[in-house]
Amino acid sequence: MDSRLRAFSSPELVNAAAVAINQNPPSTISQPQQPSQDYSLEGIAANVKLLLKVIRDHNEASAREFDDRKTQRVAGMITILDDIKARLERSQSNSKKRVAQLRRCNTDLRPNRGGGGAAGTAEKKAPETAAMTDDKEKLKKQLSSCKAARKSLEMLCSSLGKEKEIMVSQLARRVSELSEMEELVNLLKAQNETLTSKLQASGGLTGECQAGNNDSSNAVLLDRNEQLSDQLLKSLDSYRALKRKYKGAKEECSALRAAVEEETAAGLARIRRLKQKLDNREDEPVDIEGEIRALEKMFVQFKVKILKEEEKRGQHGSKPAPSSSSSHHHGRP
């Protein structure tokens, strides 16, 4: 047992090693397990799930016109992203520390034997094999984190597609309102033509009717005609305003759609490049932290654009729409 204890150069490990050797034969002593970082990665996965849930709630709430918790949800999403970034950095730093400690332990526990040949070559290759194993584990964890980031980006792209569908439905509603306004304008035009024909007919019968009755009926018809003309002008003005708003909203929707498609294509291209780099990581080094930071920046830009568009729609939606029912208060003469 003394020859086995000489392999340890650290004094505080002698007692533990002696107990392990007494309990287990040399051929069955298992290698010490390396501390895993599954807990931190599980925390990152939980944060990503929470972020996706908050994004879904945000998309559902954006369909409503009045949403007073929009700012709180955005702040919560940014906080979750910061926490994910901090956990990834801490996980990477812990991985680096663990690799350094393992290499130091391999150096301390190297047996001091004077022989050469195949045994000496195997002892020299053991630390290199352990270092390569640690590098592979580190790359696997980085690859899993990149896959999680890719899934979150895909969910964000799907949420942007839902936003686009909501905007299309709103534009369809505006088109239906414009068609109703056109029908109302046509109805008012028909009423105006009817009143004009009646006025002309009453003017042709002036010789048959008394002068007082003709004057009173003509005054009533003229007053009614003026009222309907005012209503027609107001309806035409509101129709033109709605048409301008519809045109502006359509242009904004087209611009936003083009920007979203462009940025989505750029994000997917970045993810493909990152995947290729990870597949070819033996040829060139991969800056995982820089790629994740770039993806985070792209997420923030997406959120800012969505918030700006929702604020614009909220401002347009808060204005009262022109009432089209005022023209139905007066019946036909």
What whole-number distance in Å separates Cα of residue 75 and Cα of residue 324? 41
Residue pLDDT, tens place only, 300-310: 777 787 777 77
Stretch 6-10: mean pLDDT: 41
Q: Read off the amino acid at residue 201.
A: A
> Which tokens belong to 322?
């022109």
Structure-token match 């599954």, residue found = 38
Give the contacts of 300 (CB within 8 A, at least 6 positions apart).
78, 81
Give the contacts of 299 (CB within 8 A, at least 6 positions apart).
81, 152, 153, 156
Mean pLDDT of the chain: 70
Domain positions in the chain: 1-30, 31-110+123-328
What whole-number distance in Å separates Cα of residue 47 and Cα of residue 35? 22
Stretch 322-332: mean pLDDT: 41
Question: In this predicted structure, which of 31-35, 91-95, 276-280, 284-288 has the lowest mean pLDDT?
Answer: 31-35
Band the pLDDT of 212: cuts 50, 70, 90: low
What whole-number distance in Å separates Cα of residue 286 and Cα of residue 278? 7
Angle at 183 between CA 178 and CA 327, to 5 degrees: 100
Tell me what percent of the residues of the chain surpass a pLDDT of 90. 0
Q: How many CA atoms lie within 13 A of 3 on its CB side?
A: 2
Which DSSP string corresponds to 257-293? HHHHHHHHHHHHHHHHHHHHHHHTTTTS---HHHHHH
What whole-number distance in Å separates Cα of residue 291 and Cα of residue 270? 8
Radius of gyration (C-alpha) of the chain in whole angstroms = 39
Q: Give me the pLDDT at residue 203, please.
A: 65
Q: Which of 295, 289, 256, 303 is nearest to 272 (CA)?
A: 295
Tell me what percent of the residues of the chain surpass a pLDDT of 70. 65
**Contact status, residue 142 vs residue 277, Cβ threshold 8 Å:** no
Residue pLDDT, tens place only, 120-161: 565 656 777 877 888 888 888 888 888 888 887 788 777 777
What whole-number distance in Å separates Cα of residue 257 and Cα of residue 261? 6
What whole-number distance in Å separates Cα of residue 246 and Cα of residue 255? 14
